[in-house]
Amino acid sequence: MTTTTTTTALTFTLPDGTSTVTIRPTQKAAPSEEPSQDTAPSKKDSNHEVYLNDHLIATWVIDPSVKTRVSPAQVLDERAEFDSVRHLVLSSRRSNDNGVCNGNGVSNGNGVSDGNGVSNGNGVSNGNGVSNENGVSNGNGISNRDGIHSVEAHSKGELENTWISIYALWLLHHDLDVIPITPPSSATTTYLLATGLAAPSPFESATESSGRTLLLAREAFWQGAGTPDNLSWLRSRPEASIPGFNSHLGAFASQMSFTRRGNVCTTHPLRPQKPAPGTVVYSRYIVEVGQHLQLVHIDASNPVHFSAYARWQNSDRVNHGWRERGPDEKHAAYLESQRIDPHTMSLIFLWDGEPAGYSEVGWAKEDNTACFVSSNCGIHIGEFDQLSHILVGEEKFRGGKRYQAVATSIKHLCFLRDPRTTQVIAEPRFDLPSVPIQARLLPQERKKRVQLPHKQAVLFALQRERFFQEGHFY
């Protein structure tokens, strides 16, 4: 199996924007005789330590002689691939002793509101940082749905450190699809299996829960399986913003609604309310860029947001694609129309707190382009499918890697905010320089050129399953 890894330390910040994690090869005492290049352990076989805010929280220990099958059961035995099993050893220090903010109101370090005035915007906290699935505090620090699972309160920090260590492992081996591990305890095994973050290996016969080989799946991790509420990439879910209520639902309750506006006349599901302007809705550190990316619901009353947006729309480069050049009154009216429109949300994205560009995400069914793109394009627009638009405003933040990171994050936001979304579509102007970049750097299908009332566009469709298999999250 091909792996991509590194022999140097890899450092990133967690979605709270303040906690720093480092994963690096284990430092060993110098031997009496320096090993030769031939006998030194390979990068793939190195043990790695995980540090949270400079405190050691875990070690990934690997025995190259112990391997397990990682190919699925349908693969022929002679074609199957194997990989070394990594054992997670947690330190005794709890994660909330290391400086991770796990109360209400996670700090984001840049003065931008990270919530909507009611909660911390990342799910419902029952006071211990882990949702208990029923809105009633059970005091045990782990999911306790229908009384099936219950562990000691001290394991809350253990579970959080487990997730952080797995996050670091996936960034280290970001080209792998499956990683076999053994958890450090029965409590972590229960957590990994109950949340879907890991699955039992069908090729192992071990019955002891603390010694079982489990398979971590890339697509499950990036879908948010097992994520601590206070460390979610998705920072705001208004439908779960009332503490103690609704967090068990998982998605906004489905009920029918109707829109008649312009060239739109359709039934569709009622959409959840948008978070308040100025709310951080998504947060993730981009390793390849070395900066933290945030998506914020744009606040037109914030001079920083509005002046940046107006300046970008009035530039020649942006105006070529968006055609929104005009006085401040025009820009203010447009952003206000976006604010009151329940089907779309305007975002400003920031690199390390500095405004870099603008985006829109919306529900495709009731968008004014739906009747055009669903005809003769080989796609069906589902009830919960979404669409997105991207505008990179600042010249210094242009470039393939940054664009890939922003586009991936915006699509990630769409898929995370409703698990029923099966595809995200985009219809950029056909002659924009970003079109070949989108075709090359995102795992989406280029369908066809389509004529819209206001532009000739290229239709892209990104499928959920392919995104979580092939999306570039590094």
Residue positions counted in the chain: 474
Residue 54's alpha-carbon distances to 3, 58, 314, in angstroms, are: 27, 12, 45
What is the spatial distance between Cα 217 and Cα 214, in angstroms, rounded to a whole number?
10
* Cα 263 from chain centroid (whole Å): 34
Are the CB atoms for 337 and 326 separated by under 8 Å?
no
How many CB atoms are closer than 10 A to CB 319? Answer: 14
Roughly how many angstroms between the first and final C-alpha of the chain, as a whole number? 19
Phi and psi angles of residue 328, each rounded to the nearest 5 degrees, phi first: -60, -35
Phi and psi angles of residue 211, each rounded to the nearest 5 degrees, phi first: -115, 10
Q: Which residues are catalytic?
A: 427
What is the spatial distance between Cα 269 and Cα 287, in angstroms, rounded to a whole number?
37
Question: Pairing state of beta strands 256-261 and 214-217?
Answer: unpaired
Q: 193: which DSSP letter?
A: H
Residues forming beta bridges with residue 314, ordered by sequence position: none
Residues 6+ apart with CB under 8 A from 147: none
319-324's contacts with Cβ under 8 Å and 24+ in sequence apart are 320/429, 320/432, 321/391, 321/428, 321/429, 321/432, 322/391, 323/454, 323/455
Residue 3's alpha-carbon distances to 42, 257, 456, 458, in angstroms, are: 11, 48, 42, 35
